[in-house]
Chains A and B, each alone.
Chain A
């Protein structure tokens, strides 16, 4: 079935290069003509006298040098799919059997002595850490002045050659804007009744 389908796609392309074939073929009389290669049912398509509206549309699209609309299923092209539907039991087993993949409850939660919010025991409270870090950064700035990122001293033309400017990709632009960076959520205020281990 797939061979036929591929031929179908090929034919649509050959219709564009028809003129080239016409010039080239008479020079090689030993070769079979193109019409012989085409199955009978596809001959009207090749000749351009097809009655199928969808194929006409496809031809128009190809002539305008747009990408062929092979993404949608027009009854001719199919994609790889699983052979059978996985049963309810199998799906559930796959998800629930391995204990290590499941979420475990946090039992080591405690109260941060410095801010009164929830904190993992033996770990730094990230809320306090964020505050202290920002504070120390500001303090360092006041003491030692602002530190500039390293920039090599270079001639302008040299810099253009060594670091050529180029258009950034979408991902790189997002990276430079730091849009992807997630903020840590501020933890809840500690409440004894809401924690598992009391």
Chain B
């Protein structure tokens, strides 16, 4: 991974502009896919910018948007052509989204290396608590899969779910909707089969899910761009191992310092003073 912290003086402006462009485009598109080094460098700057801008916005109160746009000094970080469009999204939209946050507005997700000549390390840089958050949909997919398999949600997933929903507006409700949507989108084939079996009056078992699907027959009249190489879902037979399910209960605890929960407090009873009459 190239080091983007030490650079020659004559490239300082280029690096500064890179941060600003990435910042503007991240706010515009909610998530961007870049190289690891660029993402890591830009993340710090974006956090700084968003923290300052939202703090200054809060201090201005309920004044109209145009006034705030000119008075919030942190917006000068953005380039002039982006300032109106992106700045208004920050002050109008993001300020409502990040009410209880002072930092931690962004997340980096590690991706596999790029399939090019350079084999660059790639990553996703995304805004948290948005509708287009990749981790949110990934977790929703996990929960949807577990529900279709009839398995309990393990501790690690539950930890992720609480983290994703606690500061989101209507977090739990939105997550529930996402799970239902994920079932239809990502496990379409399985849901279809379960419905078929239900109509026939047979109980749906996971063994039946793994029958190979004749995609060509299903997708015969589909448009070209919607056709899939592999069927969506249909790997429900592959469950987590029993050892995993057993260990999953302790995922929240520290391995290094296994703590025993403190026993309930017993109220001390002070004996009566013998000097009292």
Contact = CB atoms under 8 A, between A and B. Distances in A.
Interface of A: 111, 113-117, 120, 122-126, 128-129, 131-133, 135-136, 139-140, 181-182, 184, 186, 189-190, 192
Nearest to A182: B115
A181 to B, nearest CB: 8
Contacts, number: 69
Interface in B112-131: 112, 115, 124, 131
Nearest to B31: A136
Contacts of B134: 124, 129, 132-133, 136
A120 B238 contact: no
12 contacts: A113-B157, A116-B238, A117-B235, A124-B109, A128-B138, A129-B138, A132-B134, A132-B141, A135-B186, A136-B31, A136-B134, A136-B137
Contacts of B191: none
Interface of B: 31, 109-112, 115, 124, 131-132, 134, 137-138, 141-142, 145, 157, 185-186, 229-230, 232, 235-236, 238-241
Given A113-B157, A186-B230, A189-B238, A120 B112 contact: yes
Nearest to A126: B112
B235 A115 contact: yes
Contacts of B111: 123-124, 126, 129
B235 A131 contact: no
Nearest to A123: B110
Contact of A190 (B110, B141, B238): B238
A131 B232 CA distance: 9
Contacts of A181: 115
Given A124-B109, A136-B137, A182-B115, A113 B145 contact: yes
Contacts of A113: 142, 145, 157, 240
B54 to A, nearest CB: 24
Interface centre among A124, A136, A139, A140 (most CB of B within 10 A): A124
Contacts of B109: 124
B241 A124 contact: no
A140 B132 contact: yes
